Amino acid sequence: MSHVPERYEDELLSEEPLSDELLSDELLSGELLSVEGLSVDYFDRAEPVHAVRDVRLGVRRGETLGVVGESGCGKSTLVTALTRLERPPAVITAGSALYRPREGEPVDLLRADERQLSALRWRHLAIVFQSAMNALNPVHRLGAQFVDVLRAQRGLSKKEAQERAGELLGLVGIPADRLRAYPHELSGGMRQRATIALALACEPELVVMDEPTTAVDVVMQRQILKQIGKLQAEFGFSVVFVTHDLSLLIEIADRIAVMYAGRVVEVGPARQLYENPAHPYTAALRNAFPPLRGPRRPLTGIPGSPPGLRHPPAGCAFHPRCASRFAPCDTEEPELLPAGAGEAACHLPTHADAPRTEEAPDATD
Amino acid sequence: MPPTDASKPVLEARKVSKRFTLHGPGQYGKEVHALEPVTLALHPGRITALVGESGSGKSTLARLLALAHPPTSGEIRLDGERIAAARTARGKRAYYRQVQMVFQDPFSSLSPVHRVRHILGRPLQLHGGAQDKAARERQTVELLERVNLTPADQFIDKFPHELSGGQRQRVAIARALAARPRVLLGDEPVSMLDVSIRLDILNLLGSLRDDGLAILYITHDIAGARYFADEIKVLYAGQLVESGPGEELVRDPRHPYTRLLVESAPDPDRIAPPPDPDGDDAPPGEPPSLVDPPGGCRFHPRCPLAVPQCATTFPPRTHLSAKRWVHCWSHDAGVPQIPQADPVPHTDCPVPHTDRPVPHKDKDNSP
């Protein structure tokens, strides 16, 4: 970690393995992935930037967990840390991410070494990126990229791999003859579907999707989402779906985590976040999408802009933009505490003297 | 600002089309049929939304209106007068005094080496609003206040990189307003911005509309178009397929493509999963290649209602009401044959959609 200034070396993640207690925690065993206290810093200048702070998340088996936030909220940093694709100057400084495969020992992804990671990748953990053009190798035919993975990971013969590649493309509605095509010969939507098929090549248990539909049109987005849902029902994998589009997540996710300024500020069932958000930011974000139906009422955005992480506001990072802020908001950072069927990091529900009436104007409609 | 008469269009595109010639080996003689003859009028105090997928030709139309390309056929009229002189620098400058454009990406549309003062002061100087320095300074401050960048003295000396995306887009809009235009062409002005600040920019466009500006709002977000536009026009593969008041068009889309767009849009209030437009196992359809577009209605290869006629002849315009028309053969017979639209019954619909006007065919307007 030569890029980290010496004086910060104490802050780095300890190499010690997790205690047996944590590893055998029966309470959490329903979760495929349990993330605790994850923090990621960027050490590119004199002072580290805390891009992700103390994130706690659980991904249950077979569910779709949505992660939503605006640009700079740390959602992509979170994803790259979880998949251990973080690159300098990003450094994981604290936390654990316990992955419990159906078969075999639980693994802490944050402390896994390269050998463990390469055993996990593809077969347990796959990722779909936003830019399919960059995820596929432009100088190899589509088929070669599938065959490569299938032979290396599953030990198939070339012929078997070819057949399997054709089947995989079929799953996402691409005719098998497109295996001969180069990535640039496919449309954007087809490329994105091909990367999804590639991610599923080894039937992983967890698929992380970082804005998989942001670069495609709305009709193609709908078709891709439909296919992801169908494949998920068939293979039973869990999805972590990262996007900035809350209105989309409410439709497709089982649970949603809302991120703001590097922290998870609310997490809960999708319907609850939509109908009864506990955090004013969630409510404001929900109201920032013009609805497709129903009467038109005046809509307001959120005043101000998302904070820079180099100098985040004191207390609750959202307080400068929050309509319901009161005494403790600009000094005390709220903790993520139970709220309804989920959790929220906001002073409003926990303070008896909180100004309930001034809650975001929309919370009840 | 010259007097505006809301009933007369400021800027019109009359049957403009655009084909781009391809170059390179194997492509000689090939053309991209980007835009088929399209007629569109922008009125003072109205926002007209142009909705379509990427490659539908919506930016091409905006660029034709901004004189970035000459149209292959058809003409552009400003206040009823044909724009022909605009090939000279002087003619262009006169045109841009009336018609200004806001681009999608505020990160690349502002010069990084100039301060906001220069970015706004330069058009003020060029377009004759302010000749001396003091007047320019005053008007720059006024512009910043108009786009809610207040206090203005905090922003006037900033470079673009010191501003957030939303602030930059406000500067881009202020720059467009510096010429005191009567028409604003917005090519996806909010799609690069964070969700929480999009609404502010759209509300700003709404208030400019109330000040009498004619606005073209190009977008792929049909829900946003419903909210902010007075009128929506739907473009598919270079052909205008449907037009109408925003609310009505989204509630009761009559062209199969418009329905597909509405059904594909994210909608947390959706009760039932959207019906599958392509059938469960059909490969997903995509917009056609415009180098060799399908004949007739370009949507026919994906259309659930397609009949043989669709592949040969583009359907004529069917008027459903004074402000509503559609190009679809299923509407041509006099009685709309689209199966029951709007699968989700909504109690708050002000107009029950059984009240369909009897369509009549308009022979003059078909392209």
Q: What pLDDT is stored for residue A63 in this prediction? A: 92
CB contact (8 A) between residue A290 and residue B195: no
The residue of chain B nearest to residue A189, with distances taken between CA atoms, is B286
| CB crowding B258-281: b at 16 or more within 10 Å, else e | bbbbbbbbbbbebeeebeebbeee
ipTM value greater than 0.90: no
- Indicate if the alpha-carbon torsion angle B248, B251, B253, B259 is positive or negative: positive
The span from the CA of A276 to the CA of A342, in Å, is 11
Residue range B75-122, pLDDT digits in tens: 999 998 888 756 788 888 889 999 999 988 888 899 999 999 999 999
The residue of chain A nearest to residue B342, with distances taken between CA atoms, is A293
User: Residue B341 above 70 pLDDT?
Assistant: no
With beta carbons under 8 A apart, name residues in chain B contacting A214.
Answer: none
Residue with the bigger pLDDT between A313 and A21: it is A313
> Rounded to the nearest 10 degrees, what angle do helices A188-199 and A218-235 cross at?
20
Q: By the 8 A CB rule, do B211 and B147 touch? A: no
CATH superfamily of B11-234: P-loop containing nucleotide triphosphate hydrolases (3.40.50.300)
Q: Which of B226, B264, B284 sits opposite A218 (nearest CB)?
A: B264
Q: Which of B166, B223, B284 sits opposite A189 (nearest CB)?
A: B284
CB contact (8 A) between residue B276 and residue A294: no
* Confidence class for position B284, pLDDT limits 50, 70, 90: low
Closest of A325, A324, A321 to residue A359, by C-alpha: A324
* Confidence class for position A354, pLDDT limits 50, 70, 90: low
Cα dihedral B38/B42/B48/B52 (nearest 10): 20
Q: What pLDDT is stored for residue B347 in this prediction? A: 38
- Ranking A81-95, A347-361, B53-67, B99-113 by mean pLDDT, the lowest is A347-361
CB contact (8 A) between residue B223 and residue A300: no
Q: Which residue has the tokens 């419990």?
A: A100
* Confidence class for position A360, pLDDT limits 50, 70, 90: very low
- Indicate if the alpha-carbon torsion angle A149, A151, A155, A157 is positive or negative: positive
Domain ranges in chain B are 11-234, 238-268+298-361
Burial of A233 (0-12, 13-18, 19+ CB in 10 A): exposed
With beta carbons under 8 A apart, name residues in chain B contacting A291.
Answer: 223, 267-269
The span from the CA of B137 to the CA of B129, in Å, is 11
The span from the CA of B262 to the CA of B274, in Å, is 10
CB pairs under 8 A between A and B: 128
Query: What is the pLDDT averaged over residues B145-154?
Result: 85
Closest of A212, A279, A284 to residue A64, by C-alpha: A212
The span from the CA of A348 to the CA of A324, in Å, is 8
Q: Is B269 on the interface with A (CB under 8 A)?
A: yes
Residues 6+ apart with CB under 8 A from A294: B269, B346, B348
The span from the CA of A240 to the CA of A61, in Å, is 11
The residue of chain A nearest to residue B252, with distances taken between CA atoms, is A293
Q: Encoding tokens for residue B216?
A: 């073209």
Q: Specify the 3-state DSSP secondary structure of B28.
A: coil
Which whole-number Å values give the CA distances from B42 to A204, B5, B182, B231, B244, in the listed order? 53, 12, 10, 10, 14
Q: State the average pLDDT for chain A.
A: 84
With beta carbons under 8 A apart, name residues in chain A contacting B274.
Answer: 222
With beta carbons under 8 A apart, name residues in chain B contacting A274.
Answer: 268
With beta carbons under 8 A apart, name residues in chain B contacting A66.
Answer: none
CA of B33, closest CA in chain A: separation in Å?
A: 18
CB contact (8 A) between residue B196 and residue A306: yes
The span from the CA of B237 to the CA of B250, in Å, is 20
Backbone phi, psi, residue A91, to 5°: -135, 130
Q: Is B129 on the interface with A (CB under 8 A)?
A: no
Which whole-number Å values give the CA distances from B78 to B42, B97, B127, in the listed order? 10, 12, 18
Q: State the average pLDDT for chain B.
A: 82
- Ranking A207-221, A241-255, A268-282 by mean pLDDT, the lowest is A207-221
CB contact (8 A) between residue A293 and residue B344: yes
- Give the DSSP per-residue string, B122-186: HHHHHTTS--SHHHHHHHHHHHHHHTT--SGGGTTT--GGGS-HHHHHHHHHHHHHHT--SEEEE
* Confidence class for position B4, pLDDT limits 50, 70, 90: low
* Confidence class for position B336, pLDDT limits 50, 70, 90: very low
Backbone phi, psi, residue A7, to 5°: -70, -10
CB contact (8 A) between residue A295 and residue B263: no
The span from the CA of B285 to the CA of B262, in Å, is 16
Q: What pLDDT is stored for residue B338 in this prediction? A: 46
Helices marked H in B6-132: 58-65, 89-98, 116-126
With beta carbons under 8 A apart, name residues in chain A contacting B196.
Answer: 70, 284-285, 288, 301-302, 305-306, 321
pTM for this predicted structure: 0.83
User: Residue B276 above 80 pLDDT?
Assistant: no
User: Residue A267 above 90 pLDDT?
Assistant: yes
The residue of chain B nearest to residue A216, with distances taken between CA atoms, is B54
Q: Which of B166, B224, B286 sits opposite A220 (nearest CB)?
A: B286
CB contact (8 A) between residue A295 and residue B348: yes
Q: Which of A175, A292, A294 sits opposite B348 (nearest CB)?
A: A294
With beta carbons under 8 A apart, name residues in chain A contacting B54.
Answer: 188, 217
Query: What is the pLDDT averaged over residues A96-103?
Result: 87
Query: What is the pLDDT averaged over residues B147-160?
Result: 88
Q: In B, residues 57-96, which contact A (CB 8 Å cutoff)?
A: none
